[in-house]
Structure 1
Amino acid sequence: MLLLNRELAILEFNRRVLAQAALANIPVLERLRYLTIVSANLDEFFEVRMAPHMAALRDALPGSGEAARLKLELQRIGGAVRELLQAQCRVYTEELRAALGDQKIAILGHVDRDAAQQDWVRQYFVKEVKPLLSATLIDPRHPFPKVANKSLNFILRLQPKKKGAVPVESVLAVIKIPRALPRVIRLPAKVSQGRQVFVLLSSVLRSNLSILLPEHHVLDCAQFRLTRDSDLWVRDDDQTDLRQALNSQLHTRQFGMPVRLEVNAQCSRALARLLLQQFELPACALYRMDAPLNLVRLQQVLDLAEPGKHRFKPYEPGWTPALQRKESMWSQLARRDVLLHHPYESFEPVLQLLREAADDKHVLQIQQTIYRAGLHSEVMDLLCKAARRGKEVTVVFELMARFDEAVNIAWAEQLEKLGGQVLYGLPGMKTHCKMLLITRREKKQWRHYAHISTGNYNVSTTRSYTDLGFLTSHPEFCADIQAMFVALRQHQDAPALKHLVNAPQHLRQTLLSHLVEVSAQARRGREARVLLKLNALTDEGLIAALVDAAQAGAQVDLIVRGACLLPPGLPELTERVRVRSIIGRFLEHSRVYHMVAGEQVWTYLSSADGMARNLDRRVELAWPLLDPVLRQRVYDEVLTPYLLDGEDAWAQGPDGRYQAVKGVYPSAQQALMRKHAGARKKDV
């Protein structure tokens, strides 16, 4: 069957995120946050997704059919990007700035500032900005300076102020803006007229060029921002010292292959053409912005502004009612398995388990995988504490976690210095599974306690991402996890596991075999249902099996936050497939595979999405919910509300475009917040 285009599906997801910025019922600073998320996503889209396309075009033989095909594809994707950018600029200039103004929050350009504000900005420029700036004149002895990835720069055409009858030729200059300078500056109250007033660094510089360049007339000026290929690639033969190989690449990441050139809307054709030639980019790589070039930097407004009613009301995750705060985690997990639903329930029980493990003299060993720990990590602090106290601490770090490589390397080095054992997973594969195993001596025997999760061990994201965590002392589950750690230590494939299903060895085949059974039962006229909740669905084999199940008569419901390449609603092909996406306050991140075939019901939670990279090129885990009570809870709390959501849901059409769903049922996220807040009150 014909799959949807992946790049266009990613851009369609960002269109849904942008729609949040246009909602008048969302606090205005949160709307601004959604706007910046779109820009951050587009940056990564070009750094990672578009870079291979650009490289292929550069390598293609000029004038060949392949070159023509690639150019046409880039133009198609570029057209969708421009459509999204136009909508984004429109939301910012026509809606958000007015909405901010209604709340006495202003982002002022030069023409908007009164005399007192202009004077303050001028003094700020002279004192704080000018000492760090210099213009590089471009001539045969001074070539065009190296431009770092996503840095802000100005290009100018200048004419020296020299007296005489003979005209002086104009010259080019480039001003590189240091990253150390704040991109957003809040004006003091004395010149703000009772408002919260902000100015952008680019506006501060543009309005004070005469101070920076007193010897020149500015004939032409434009801001530009270059996006480069930022994906890291390490050969398999570098795995002997992966950390060193990555460290060497991190230093050069800022100067990868150029893939996108952004300029302000007023940039002249001459300067735009010059920049394209300088960076050897085709015309389709040029993007004009009728808004600040780097809208991501407006996140600083959120940090500098007084939140008040302009942000979401703080939501404090509660302690799960399945556990008692004052009782040891050992005794409680010995009695029952515990399911945690973040961010509605706190990540604190996982931290508490680690705290007890670090302090308990009976704990011998702690093993854990780390994909994204974060710069400030209580999880890593506790693992370091355990290592200092003599515990056997082994951590499998994924050093290739995109854009978190440097942070993970730093934590790995710190843990190693304290005596912990650091591993980097299997050659050529990312370790994406999230698992923790603690070994404790109890009554002259060893007992294991485990945590596995759909999300990262990053405490900050557990408050803004929806994820599912599972705490257990189930001997067979723990034995499976131990087998996974042994395989990672010894660089071997994990053996067949009792309950857990691992990738790349078994997860794909397990899911496909279940879907085959779903199709078989559907053809017999028995109950057949597939309900998946994922971040992305792009794997052709999995999609083919889902289409087969739908054609056999099974109802297939897909809750996919991001890119879904399966077009629903195609006559005689995917009529029984429904695809919806939830875009709300929290980022949907949990993965659930729920399949019904007659009397058989399978419900797996997993770290893996429906993507080839997850199923074939990563170390992943999926685990079944054996407890029928927990299985029903996931169905009732994590799946059903999202199928009924009438506020935050979008329905996908056969063409891959989404339409907002307006129904009678409330937002699933809001309903879950109320539900868990009510449960906490009852518990108190």
Structure 2
Amino acid sequence: MSGAKKYINRDLSWLEFNRRVLEEAEDASTPLMERLSFLSIVSSNLDEFMSVRVAGLQDQRKAGYIKSDFTGYTPQGLLKRIMKRTTRTVRQQYKVYRDLMRLLSREGIELLSVKDLTTDQRTLMKAHFQEIIYPVLTPMAVDVSRPFPLVHSKEIYLAVVLKPEAGGEDKTVCAIVQVPSILPRVIPVLSGRNSRRSCYILLEDLLKENISLLFSGYEMEAVHAFRVTRNSDLTLNEEGAEDLLQEIEKELRRRKHGLPVRLEVEKGMHPHALQLLRDELELWEEDEPLEIDGPLDLSFLSKFASLLQNVDHLKYERIEPVYPEEFENADDILSVLREKDVLVYHPYESFEAVNDFILESAADPDVLAIKITLYRVSVNSVLIQALARAAESGKQVTVVVELKARFDEERNIAWARLLENSGCHVVYGLVGLKTHVKITLVVRRESGALRRYVHVGTGNYNDITAKLYTDAGLFTSHPGIGEDASALFNEMTGYSTPHDWRSFAVAPIGLKEKLFELIDREMEHAQAGRPARIVAKMNSLSSQSMIDKLYEASQAGVKIELIVRGVCCLRPGVDGLSENIRVVSIVDRFLEHSRIVAFAGGGEEEVYISSADWMTRNLSRRVEILCPVYDAGIRSSLMNLLRMNLEDDVKARKLSSMGGYIRVHNEAQDPLRSQFAAAELGRWKRSRR
């Protein structure tokens, strides 16, 4: 079979995922405020996709690269397909936006245009403009003596077309004004039309209305908004960088000058301004500006929804994470882990358990060392403060900080410096590899010996995302896992030959091979007539070699069920290739982020949690782990979670062999919404009680 028939293109699959997010904004059963948030996520997702994936394809096109990828697409052909689908999605996105604005108006909330303001409102808002906004603005003329200014990525600007007032030269000129991102984009209208309605206006609309105050002696011919997305991927020469931190700081400064990838313009933009932008940004002829019929950058909707008062009835019912019952009545967490392993599943169970694990270890005089990997950390992280205090108290604290976590580089640099100043040993990982593993090791002195306690997670050590993402975390003092954790940190921080792992499988060398070994074993079980089944949950599946291995297992009779939230390049249900493979995707209130894989094992079931998606970068260019779950009760709990995902018939979509997604419906039973069912902890922890 040709590549196009065997595989789904990664970037086109991602666009299908973003389309599923848009469907949540379209869904009338989703609460109104949540629909606004989903619409916001569509925009922020697309921004990142353009600044990284599309930017890479454009680089290949400019370099004259014409080779097809394993799915059969050349960069040029793929770019055309992407832009066609993107334009269609954006058009639908703004249709949904207008529908949601009408629904908001029925709830007494209005986002007004200038023409909707009363005379009194205009007077009050003009005063607000002069006092709060005007002093911040900087008009930038574009002429022979003043070249086109640097337009920052993903910021909103106004292109102002001007003519001198009567008596001056009859010459059209242009100026640029940045809509200041330091100010709130949504402004309350100071006088509503009646007290029962909440009215707002966008900052750029208020700026347009008063723009003439910036250009005395000129007549306004046109004012339109535009926005540029630049290439934001970092190109690091790690081999030649004596100081990785300084190298990344240098690249972050270069990011501001990345080549333009996409130009969004307000509908009806003046042709003079449009031509100026095309010329100055040096866009390729085929890279047509994206004309937007509405406000640019709908990612503001998420903040807007969070600012509104008295709208709880338009949101999901609040779910308060519960503290894990295994720890709730215990004197300390480590005493529990001496007796048994504990699974914590976020966001239904609180991330405070992870914080407490570090806090207690930092305060325990018998704890000698704490080692942890940090990839993306929240702004006010309790963990950072606890690690700093532990180092200041004399403990050996080692922190492997991944500086190259995309778009979190600046924050991670700040944490790295803070930790270093506190006395922590800060390591920036291995040259050429991202450290994506999520693991903590605590070494404690007990009865004249040392004991290791480990936390292994599928998600980052981030208390904010732990309330928004589904992730599993395993606490254990299992000797094999503890020994492997020590060896893993030794490899990441020093010179160490590959370890003979007792429990872990570690990427970039060994994890994919371990998965292949487990898949081969399932094939042997299938051929011998024993139970043979693979259930795997992940964010993305795009590794060609992994997909080929799953195809091989399907043809050998192994039943394979995959829960893949985002990108999936595998085509399920193709006769003679993948008829034994089923793929579902769940897009719902929380971002499905956990990585769990289970093998029937001929009747001796094995379950693993992992930091790795099944993508080429995760399996060959990152430090990742696959960790076995030894506790039978925890294995059962994880299988319950997988089972609920597979039986979801409310928010699950099934991937067809043609690459499209179809909602799953089961008329024969009560509907099951897996995220809501998981919120009832007894539904998945029942076997452990």
Check whether TM > 0.5.
yes
Query: Equivalent residue for 1:27?
Result: 31
CA distance in structure 1 between the partners assigned to 2:528 and 2:553 by the alignment = 12
SS of 1:447's equivalent? strand
**Structure 1 contact 368–435 (Cα < 8 Å) conserved:** yes
CA distance in structure 1 between the partners assigned to 2:106 and 2:306 by the alignment = 19
CA distance in structure 2 between the partners assigned to 1:373 and 1:352 by the alignment = 16
Query: Equivalent residue for 2:188?
Result: 186
Q: Does 1:674 align with 2:680?
A: yes
Query: Equivalent residue for 2:643?
Result: 640
Amino acid at match of 2:307: L
CA distance in structure 2 between the partners assigned to 1:475 and 1:525 by the alignment = 35
Out of 380, 399, 403, the position equivalent to 2:407 is 403
Q: Does 1:227 align with 2:229?
A: yes
Q: Does 1:435 align with 2:453?
A: no
**Structure 1 contact 239–427 (Cα < 8 Å) conserved:** no
Q: Does 1:539 align with 2:553?
A: no
Gaps of 5+ in 2: none
**Structure 1 contact 74–284 (Cα < 8 Å) conserved:** no
Query: Equivalent residue for 2:660?
Result: 657
CA distance in structure 2 between the partners assigned to 1:143 and 1:126 by the alignment = 28
SS of 2:575's equivalent? coil
- Per-residue CA distance 1:644-674 (angstroms, 9 max, x = gap): 1011111111121112223343210001113
Amino acid at match of 1:652: L
CA distance in structure 2 between the partners assigned to 1:69 and 1:317 by the alignment = 47
SS of 1:449's equivalent? strand
Out of 342, 349, 356, the position equivalent to 1:352 is 356
Query: Equivalent residue for 1:205?
Result: 207
**Structure 2 contact 161–270 (Cα < 8 Å) conserved:** no
TM-aligned CA deviation for residue 239 of structure 1: 4.5
SS of 1:437's equivalent? strand
TM-aligned CA deviation for residue 678 of structure 1: 11
Out of 261, 274, 277, the position equivalent to 1:259 is 261
Q: Does 1:291 align with 2:294?
A: yes
Query: Equivalent residue for 1:249?
Result: 251
Could you state the TM-score of these two structures normalised by the residue count of structure 1? 0.95
Q: What does 1:2-17 correspond to in 2, within 5 Å?
A: 2-17=6-21
Out of 130, 133, 136, the position equivalent to 1:129 is 133
- Percent identity reads 37
**Structure 1 contact 467–588 (Cα < 8 Å) conserved:** yes
- Per-residue CA distance 1:316-359 (angstroms, 9 max, x = gap): 11111222334221211100000111111112222111111111
Change (3 A) 1:327 1:69: closer
Q: What does 1:93-132 correspond to in 2, within 5 Å?
A: 93=98, 95-132=99-136
Q: Does 1:161 align with 2:165?
A: yes
Moved more, 613-622 or 295-304: 295-304
CA distance in structure 2 between the partners assigned to 1:304 and 1:349 by the alignment = 30
SS of 1:237's equivalent? coil
Change (3 A) 1:255 1:676: farther
CA distance in structure 1 between the partners assigned to 2:682 and 2:90 by the alignment = 38
TM-aligned CA deviation for residue 297 of structure 1: 1.9
Query: Equivalent residue for 2:634?
Result: 630
CA distance in structure 1 between the partners assigned to 2:241 and 2:147 by the alignment = 38
Query: Equivalent residue for 1:618?
Result: 622
Q: Does 1:598 align with 2:602?
A: yes
**Structure 1 contact 152–225 (Cα < 8 Å) conserved:** yes
Q: Does 1:300 align with 2:293?
A: no
TM-aligned CA deviation for residue 525 of structure 1: 3.1
CA distance in structure 1 between the partners assigned to 2:295 and 2:274 by the alignment = 17
SS of 1:236's equivalent? coil
CA distance in structure 1 between the partners assigned to 2:467 and 2:655 by the alignment = 28
Amino acid at match of 2:587: I
CA distance in structure 2 between the partners assigned to 1:70 and 1:412 by the alignment = 38
SS of 1:240's equivalent? coil
SS of 1:252's equivalent? helix
CA distance in structure 1 between the partners assigned to 2:382 and 2:456 by the alignment = 17
CA distance in structure 2 between the partners assigned to 1:491 and 1:177 by the alignment = 51
Q: Does 1:76 align with 2:78?
A: no
CA distance in structure 2 between the partners assigned to 1:650 and 1:252 by the alignment = 41
**Structure 2 contact 648–674 (Cα < 8 Å) conserved:** yes
SS of 1:654's equivalent? coil
TM-aligned CA deviation for residue 405 of structure 1: 0.8
Q: What does 1:523-534 correspond to in 2, within 5 Å?
A: 523-534=527-538
Query: Equivalent residue for 1:361?
Result: 365
**Structure 2 contact 504–626 (Cα < 8 Å) conserved:** yes
Gaps of 5+ in 1: none
Amino acid at match of 1:260: R
SS of 2:126's equivalent? helix
Amino acid at match of 2:671: Y
Amino acid at match of 2:680: R
**Structure 1 contact 397–422 (Cα < 8 Å) conserved:** yes
Change (3 A) 1:252 1:671: same
CA distance in structure 2 between the partners assigned to 1:222 and 1:520 by the alignment = 65
TM-aligned CA deviation for residue 639 of structure 1: 0.3
TM-aligned CA deviation for residue 189 of structure 1: 5.8
Change (3 A) 1:192 1:509: farther
TM-aligned CA deviation for residue 676 of structure 1: 5.1
CA distance in structure 2 between the partners assigned to 1:597 and 1:201 by the alignment = 60
Amino acid at match of 1:287: L
Query: Equivalent residue for 1:49?
Result: 53
Change (3 A) 1:285 1:421: farther
CA distance in structure 2 between the partners assigned to 1:498 and 1:577 by the alignment = 31
Query: Equivalent residue for 2:580?
Result: 576
TM-aligned CA deviation for residue 192 of structure 1: 5.7
CA distance in structure 1 between the partners assigned to 2:162 and 2:63 by the alignment = 37
Moved more, 659-668 or 344-353: 659-668
Out of 76, 87, 95, the position equivalent to 1:90 is 95
Moved more, 109-118 or 146-155: 109-118
Q: What does 1:308-387 correspond to in 2, within 5 Å?
A: 308-387=312-391
Amino acid at match of 1:416: E
Change (3 A) 1:388 1:225: same
CA distance in structure 2 between the partners assigned to 1:590 and 1:607 by the alignment = 8
TM-aligned CA deviation for residue 142 of structure 1: 0.7
Query: Equivalent residue for 1:240?
Result: 242
TM-aligned CA deviation for residue 233 of structure 1: 2.0
Query: Equivalent residue for 1:503?
Result: 507
Change (3 A) 1:326 1:512: closer
SS of 1:317's equivalent? coil
CA distance in structure 2 between the partners assigned to 1:233 and 1:669 by the alignment = 39
Change (3 A) 1:138 1:502: same
CA distance in structure 2 between the partners assigned to 1:204 and 1:660 by the alignment = 42
Could you state the TM-score of these two structures normalised by the residue count of structure 2? 0.94
Amino acid at match of 1:176: Q
TM-aligned CA deviation for residue 11 of structure 1: 0.7
CA distance in structure 2 between the partners assigned to 1:632 and 1:226 by the alignment = 49
Amino acid at match of 1:439: V
**Structure 2 contact 369–443 (Cα < 8 Å) conserved:** yes
CA distance in structure 2 between the partners assigned to 1:490 and 1:572 by the alignment = 48
CA distance in structure 2 between the partners assigned to 1:432 and 1:675 by the alignment = 29
Change (3 A) 1:26 1:59: same
SS of 1:35's equivalent? helix
**Structure 1 contact 500–622 (Cα < 8 Å) conserved:** yes
CA distance in structure 2 between the partners assigned to 1:580 and 1:288 by the alignment = 34
Q: Does 1:488 align with 2:478?
A: no
CA distance in structure 1 between the partners assigned to 2:301 and 2:451 by the alignment = 50
TM-aligned CA deviation for residue 238 of structure 1: 3.9
